[in-house]
Structure 1
């Protein structure tokens, strides 16, 4: 109904914390609009030896256990869904892709259609595949029948970090470049934009039904 609260799900995968930091800022941006926001992580599926070789990875997994794991119900509840993933050779991280691959049942019932979607990412190097990762992720949204709302260059908040397909961050080859104010501002702006557009779409559908 018109004026009802917009539901936003931020579903992400983060190994060492960069995407988590962006996801939290996206969450805050959506919450700025008055939306009800759920921040959800997908399960870690990497082999334990791979995780334990990286102390930062171990620390992050341990420190984010309090964040609920994403479920299908979170997507059904949401009017807008923002996916976050680090780039993996210019593609979506296997952990997030594994979650997306479980959605066939919802897709088959058209339960993922007519929702707003957007995404954000990170790379180690400046030209490490942010755009291709986001475009690859959006391929799934096309199949869902979702409505993609990218940040674009609106208000030019991503002129420095990220790209018009989705906010992002460059960590440096050794991962030492912390998420800075430019990237945080871009992520928060993206969260607000997606929530606002989802609210407008929800209100429009409500008027059409009425």
Structure 2
């Protein structure tokens, strides 16, 4: 079975909703999925001072396990999600990424598939820059990037971002349109399907063929 890790940070719930949809799509493709949130860095008093942030934090801090390097090592494919912070990933997700050095040094992140998704307040709020910055991480890992591209009509209905699903949250409510969730499910499904194909191709190769590739 294909193992997919969906690892994300969400402050008010938009990226969490995307992560759940990505995970659902991967499961529909037959994958075993681990949905994981990265640890929160902000002080509790800061979180409590913002209603939407505090509500989401309380709703998920016990129901969604925290991500670890073991989840990455277990996974055949990885989906990373984050809100946009000035065109970059959130500090919470970045800290998690910064702690993957031991896996990278041991070559345990190479040849995995990877994809990314994001949310920002405005349509032109830096979503594409954020997704491309996460792709830079995948390049360093030696991962194989599986973007949604413009491969299904659902991606156009959700804004047509070929790099990854991106949701402009607007007024901050979490009433995410079904079209966006459908695009996220497609992205997770596509990640799982291509991961499964790669695993099958690798298993079918002889040791001599694998030696030539490496």
Range of TM-score over shorter length: over 0.9
Structure 1 gaps, min length 5: none
1:23 matched residue in structure 2: 19
Q: What is the Cα deviation at residue 131 of structure 1?
A: 0.3
Q: What is the Cα deviation at residue 177 of structure 1?
A: 5.9
1:86 matched residue in structure 2: 83
1:68 equivalenced with 2:65 (yes/no):
yes
**SS of alignment partner, residue 157 of structure 1:** helix
Structure 2: distance between partners of 1:192 and 1:53: 37
Structure 1: distance between partners of 2:174 and 2:67: 28
**Change over 3 Å in CA distance of 1:177–1:24 after alignment to 2:** closer
Structure 2: distance between partners of 1:60 and 1:27: 19
Q: What is the Cα deviation at residue 138 of structure 1?
A: 1.0
How do 1:68-147 residues align onto structure 2 when only pairs under 5 Å count?
68-147=65-144
Do 2:14 and 2:174's aligned partners in 1 also have CA atoms closer than 8 Å? no
Do 1:42 and 1:69's aligned partners in 2 also have CA atoms closer than 8 Å? yes
TM-score after normalising by structure 2: 0.93
1:52 matched residue in structure 2: 48
For residues 99-128 of structure 1, the C-alpha deviation after alignment (integer angstroms, 9 at most, x for no partner) is 000011110111000000001000100100
Pairwise CA RMSD: 1.1
1:170 matched residue in structure 2: 168
For residues 137-171 of structure 1, the C-alpha deviation after alignment (integer angstroms, 9 at most, x for no partner) is 11111000000000000022211324100012111
Do 2:13 and 2:174's aligned partners in 1 also have CA atoms closer than 8 Å? no
How do 1:149-164 residues align onto structure 2 when only pairs under 5 Å count?
149-162=146-159, 163-164=161-162
1:11 equivalenced with 2:7 (yes/no):
yes
